[in-house]
Amino acid sequence: MSLAARLRPAGGATIGRRRGTLSTARRQFGVAPVVFLFLPPALLLFTVFVVLPIGEAGWYSLFNWNGYGAPTEFVGLHNYELLWRTPVFFTALTNNLLIIAVSILVQIPLALCLATLVSNRIAGAVTFRLIFFLPYVLADVAAGLIWRFVYDGDYGLVAAAASLVGVQAPYLLAERGLAIYAILVVVVWKYFGFHMMLFVAGLQTIDPSYYEAAEIDGATRFQKFRSITLPLLAPTLRLSVFFSVIGSLQLFDLVMPMTGGGPSNSSQTMVTFLYSFGITRMRIGFGSAIGVVLFAICVLFAFGYKRTLMRHD
Amino acid sequence: MTDAALPDAAVGGTSWHGQATRRPAGSGRKRARRANLLTYTVLIVVAAIILVPLVATALGGFKTLGGLRANPFGLPTEWIWSNYWDILASARYWRMLGNSLIIATLTVSLVLATASMAAFTFAHLRFFGSGFLLNYFLIGLMFPAATAILPIFIRIRDLGLLDSYFGVVLPQAAFGLGLSVPLMRNYFKSMPHELFDAAFVDGCGYAQYFWHVTLPLARPILATVGTVSFVSSWNNYLLPLILLNTETRYPWPLGIMVYQGEFGTDWQLILAFVTLTILPTIIVFFAAQKHIVAGLTSGAVKG
């Protein structure tokens, strides 16, 4: 069911479509008490645990502070300078970009392709959809552990499969150059089902009469896909790209059980970098600086993307 | 598979247009069958890539370590039930799941209570700053909790909530509001206006209207928001990792990491443990798949 349909209460589709605030006379009645009773809990919670911490991260990032007592050792932008001189920061940044690239260039096309297949009225389509969606509902940590086993050089599936064809498989997660690629596979495995479901929902909103009309005109499968499916699915695609990017930037849970950012920091992401360089070492100032940079990247992307590509959605 | 299962036949064949445009029987049918075969091949291969690691994990829990090494794919030569029984009989397994359940239930309750009230005011009342405040909640969608994790840690510590359930619940619920408030507000706003007119004539105030009319009618959106909050809390790792430090309070994602650290390379035990910890998720997922898929995807779409 499309979201628009879900948001419409049953039977309310044609009558009662007058939207907006209540009429003036009624608005006067008890507005202030309601606003002052109903809004503060959410507002307080959100301000104290979401908005203020971001501001505080900016403030703490200017200090050299181990978290005890008050931050007193003001160091200005030194933490950012330090960040700039830490090679691991750039490894993390590159890895995040790589994850974004794979999400957009591999995962989304794969999800779209599978969505068109399971949207057909073929036997078992619903079962396939569920199976493909299953990894998405599993916790990242559990998925990471499962794949740590799959990749294990002694007991794992990859090693066993390789030895069947007579090849000695490397310890994928223990090789500097390979670990991040092994993680990328798991990212696609874990998340493509979510994007596929978005596309399945998007495909259902396309009026089948477009396809019928195209068939009368003798359009091929590919032409139908290119001229009907793709343009009508564009808003869903833009949304899917948005989720991929924001999701890729916060990847942490999946990496921790597989490599913890190793070997020798080669598979760090921004958040694992923040964790292992800021949190475990209680360097509040430095860790906050990483957080601020990540925040800036997320917000710049979100605003830029919404302003340009999602302007009309 | 039969031709009736084909998309072309299913759409075109039953309609008037279908009768007129059906392709010459021979070649079209053969092509369709080939396409169908290809479709199933692709679907089965992908399904296998999804399922093989999961099934191998579950089966691996039944093996001995040596058995796992010799044969990680196939059925165990001898079924070691004790791997599973020992975990099921241990307090730590149930305590972990219990912790997760408590944290998730508290988070869902807090999100539903606070978000529905805020959403109600945004949907029905216009007051100074209401537009700004609604957008204010939207900024929560733009960045992950990880960016502010250190100040959150400091705040929770200063509040004396470190190592308590509420210390995890509060920031988790707060980060859930960015999605929940706008989602609920849209739903409330789309509810038929006549309802309020009728209630108002009967002398119903906003608070009563919210409690007796809005909430009962908003069950679908409450279910969506509840599902999203529950799943994200159930699976959350980063916040509890930083905010809890007593093992008896650990939710299961932390618990399996501790277990993994303890048993190192005793993969058969780790696999049994992982299987048992993801089992509740898998059971609930298949039992309530319609609601979960709809909740998680539509929750996201509005974001």
pLDDT score, position A192: 94
Q: Following CA atoms A126, A128, A131, A134 in sequence, which dihedral angle do they give, to the nearest 10 degrees?
A: -60
Query: Would you call A110 exposed, middle or buried from its count of C-beta atoms within 10 A (0-12, 13-18, 19+)?
Result: middle
Q: How far apart are CA A254 and CA A259, in angstroms?
A: 9
Q: Which residues of B touch A243 (CB under 8 A)?
A: 300, 303
In a domain, A6, yes or no: no
In a domain, A95, yes or no: yes
pLDDT score, position B27: 56
Instruction: Give how far A258 is from chain B: nearest CA, Å.
Output: 11
Of A114, A157, A275, the CB nearest to B46: A114
Q: A101 to each of A96, A113, A251, A252, B104, how far by Cα in Å?
A: 9, 18, 14, 17, 33
Closest CA to B212 of B228, B232, B198: B198
Helix axes B91-124, B267-287, angle to 10 degrees: 40
Alpha-helical (H) ranges within A208-310 are: 208-216, 221-224, 230-249, 255-258, 270-274, 284-308
In a domain, A43, yes or no: no
Test A45 with B15 for CB contact under 8 angstroms. Answer: no
Query: Would you call A221 exposed, middle or buried from its count of C-beta atoms within 10 A (0-12, 13-18, 19+)?
Result: middle
- Count Cα atoms within 13 angstroms, Cβ side, for B218: 30
Instruction: Give how far A292 is from chain B: nearest CA, Å.
Output: 6
B3 DSSP 8-state letter: G
Q: How far apart are CA A118 and CA B39, in angstroms?
A: 9
Instruction: Give how far B165 is from chain A: nearest CA, Å.
Output: 15
Count up the domains in chain A and report the number: 1
pLDDT in tens, B49-78: 999 999 999 999 999 888 888 888 888 888
CB of A69 within 8 Å of a chain B CB? The answer is no
Of A34, A253, A291, the CB nearest to B148: A291
Within the 70-109 window of chain A, which residues sit less than 8 Å (CB to CB) from chain B? none
Of A198, A216, A292, the CB nearest to B301: A198
CATH number at residue A232: 1.10.3720.10
Q: Which residues of A touch B200 (CB under 8 A)?
A: 26, 29
Q: Which residues of B touch A195 (CB under 8 A)?
A: none
Domain that holds residue A197: 57-140+179-208+215-308
Residues whose CB falls within 8 Å of the CB of residue B98, separated by 6 or more in sequence, listed in order? none
pLDDT score, position A266: 92
pLDDT score, position B299: 63
Which residues of chain B fall short of a pLDDT of 50? 1-26, 303
Answer whether B12's CB lies under 8 Å from A209's CB.
no
Test A12 with B17 for CB contact under 8 angstroms. Answer: no
Within the 133-192 window of chain A, which residues sit less than 8 Å (CB to CB) from chain B? 133-142, 145-147, 149-150, 152, 154-157, 160-161, 189
Answer whether A273's CB lies under 8 Å from A89's CB.
yes
In a domain, A23, yes or no: no
pLDDT score, position A52: 94
Backbone angles phi, psi at A63, to 5 degrees: -120, 155
pLDDT score, position A89: 95
All domains of chain B in start order, with CATH: 1-48 (no CATH), 91-301 (1.10.3720.10)
Q: Which residues of A touch B188 (CB under 8 A)?
A: none
pLDDT score, position B6: 31
In a domain, A194, yes or no: yes
Of A239, A271, A278, the CB nearest to B301: A239
Answer whether A147's CB lies under 8 Å from A186's CB.
yes
Which residues of chain A fall short of a pLDDT of 50? 1-28
Query: Would you call A153 exposed, middle or buried from its count of C-beta atoms within 10 A (0-12, 13-18, 19+)?
Result: middle
CB of B178 within 8 Å of a chain A CB? The answer is yes
ipTM of the complex, rounded to two decimals: 0.85
In a domain, A24, yes or no: no
Instruction: Give how far A90 is from chain B: nearest CA, Å.
Output: 17
Test A60 with B150 for CB contact under 8 angstroms. Answer: yes
pLDDT score, position B10: 31
Instruction: Give how far B90 is from chain A: nearest CA, Å.
Output: 19
Q: How far apart are CA A133 and CA A193, in angstroms?
A: 4
Instruction: Give how far B274 is from chain A: nearest CA, Å.
Output: 6
In a domain, A146, yes or no: no
Test B297 with A198 for CB contact under 8 angstroms. Answer: yes
Q: Which residues of A touch B292 (CB under 8 A)?
A: 137
pLDDT score, position A18: 43
In a domain, A48, yes or no: no
Test B257 with A45 for CB contact under 8 angstroms. Answer: no
Within the 28-87 window of chain B, which residues sit less than 8 Å (CB to CB) from chain A? 36, 39-40, 42-43, 46-47, 49-54, 56-57, 60, 65, 68-69, 71-73
